[in-house]
Amino acid sequence: MNTILHQLKNNGLVWQGATRMPQRPSTPTAPEDYLATHIPGGLTDHPAVEIGSPAGIGELRLLLPKLRANAEDNNRLLVWIGPPHKPNAEALHHAGVALSRVLILHPKTAKHALWAAEQCLGSGACHSVLLWHSRLNVAQLQRLQQAAGRGQAQLFWLHDQHSLNPALPISLSMDLQPHPEGLQITVRKCRGSWPPAPFIIDMRQHWPKLTLTDPVASSQNLIIFPGSRAS
């Protein structure tokens, strides 16, 4: 084959429609998955998700429904690797995350963090891994994604910059910006479809106190149940 094509392929600059990911036994899309209406399938079916976001705007709240869905019907672990702050047991418990299945790792070096992430993803003993890590190269990411496929786990890679390298072979990559109603999301890359135009996630229903405009005020006659409990 053409050497230039080869190079392009090896660097992950070409996406080929023919090389579809092997079909994983897909978990059903979480009913509260905020992204489901904008990206086909929502967060499901992506072994690795890159999230570039400033801290504290709702990046974890965006993932909570998916984390809950992943934890359903199994007793696998949710692993936090190198979180910038201490996870709050109260909030997690309130959000429906089983604390007994939360494992927090504080590796001393970045190398150890990546090794731990690969072990966790490939072990089959974890359903999701949250990894705070500033930079990943193509080879590292590919190893992590393969491990995630092996262990049927999902990797959420969080960092506080804009999505770094468009050539990274990641299956879903997005940038998060604060917005009065919740979050503004720019999808940089989405395997299997064109990235949609930037859209806004409305968190007014689920997190009314963490948005600037209150939906109750705008529709006076309706009283909305707290979202996460609504049946």
Partner 1 sequence: MASELWLYLHFPSLQLDSLYADQQHPLVVVDKTNNRVIQLNEVARERGIRPGMGLGTAASLDHALQVAEHQPHTEDEKLYELAAWLYGCTSDIALCSPNGLLLRAHPMLSLYNGLRSYWQALQQRLAPIALNYTYACGHTPLAAKVLARQGYTLVTDDAEVLLNALQRCPLSVTDLSAKQQSQLKRTGVRYLSELLSIPGEQLTRRFDHELTLYIGRLTGRFSHPQRFYYPPAVFRQTLTLLYGIENTQRLLPPLNTLLTRLEEFLRLREKLTSRLQLELVQQNKAILEIQVESAQAEYQASHWQALIALKFETIQLSEAIHAVILKVTSLEDKQRQTEDLFLGRQGKQTPLQLMSVLQARLGKDALSGITLVDDFRPEKSSQYCPAHRNDLPPSGTRVATMRPLQLCDPPVTLHEKVSLRHGPERIQTGWWDGHPVQRDYFIARSIQGQWLWVFRTPESHWFIQGIFS
With respect to partner 1, which residue has the nearer C-beta, 18 or 229? 229
Q: How far is the CB of 99 from partner 1 (least distance, A)?
A: 6
Q: What are the backbone dihedrals phi and psi of residue 179, each rounded to the nearest 5 degrees, phi first?
A: -145, 145
In the window 171-210, what residues touch partner 1 (CB under 8 A)?
Answer: 177-179, 207, 209-210
Q: How far is the CB of 191 from partner 1 (least distance, A)?
A: 23
Q: What distance in Å separates the CA atoms of residue 228 and residue 231, rounded to the nearest whole number?
A: 9
Q: How far is the CB of 89 from partner 1 (least distance, A)?
A: 4
Tokens representing residue 195 in the block? 């990235």
With respect to partner 1, which residue has the nearer C-beta, 140 or 165? 140
Q: How far is the CB of 55 from partner 1 (least distance, A)?
A: 6
Q: Does the protein bind partner 1 through residue 102 (CB under 8 A)? A: yes
Tokens representing residue 213 in the block? 């405009």
Contact pick of 13, 37, 106, 224 for partner 1 (by CB under 8 A): 106
Q: What distance in Å separates the CA atoms of residue 217 and residue 205, rounded to the nearest whole number?
A: 12
Count of residues in contact with partner 1, rule CB under 8 A? 57
Are residues 185 and 193 in contact, defined by beta-carbon separation less than 8 angstroms? no
Q: How far is the CB of 3 from partner 1 (least distance, A)?
A: 38
Q: Does the protein bind partner 1 through residue 126 (CB under 8 A)? A: yes
Contact pick of 4, 86, 221, 223 for partner 1 (by CB under 8 A): 86
Q: Does the protein bind partner 1 through residue 143 (CB under 8 A)? A: no
* Residue 199 β-bridge partners: 185
Q: Which residues contact 209 (CB under 8 A, 6 or more apart)?
A: none
Q: Does the protein bind partner 1 through residue 164 (CB under 8 A)? A: no
Q: What distance in Å separates the CA atoms of residue 113 and residue 105, rounded to the nearest whole number?
A: 8
- Mode of pairing for the β-strands spanning 126-132 and 154-159: parallel
Are residues 34 and 179 in contact, defined by beta-carbon separation less than 8 angstroms? no
Q: Which residues contact 89 (CB under 8 A, 6 or more apart)?
A: 99
With respect to partner 1, which residue has the nearer C-beta, 91 or 224? 91
Q: Does the protein bind partner 1 through residue 77 (CB under 8 A)? A: yes
Q: What distance in Å separates the CA atoms of residue 31 and residue 16, rounded to the nearest whole number?
A: 31
Binding site for partner 1 (CB under 8 A): 54-61, 73-77, 83-95, 98-108, 112, 115-116, 119-120, 122-126, 150-152, 177-179, 207, 209-210, 212
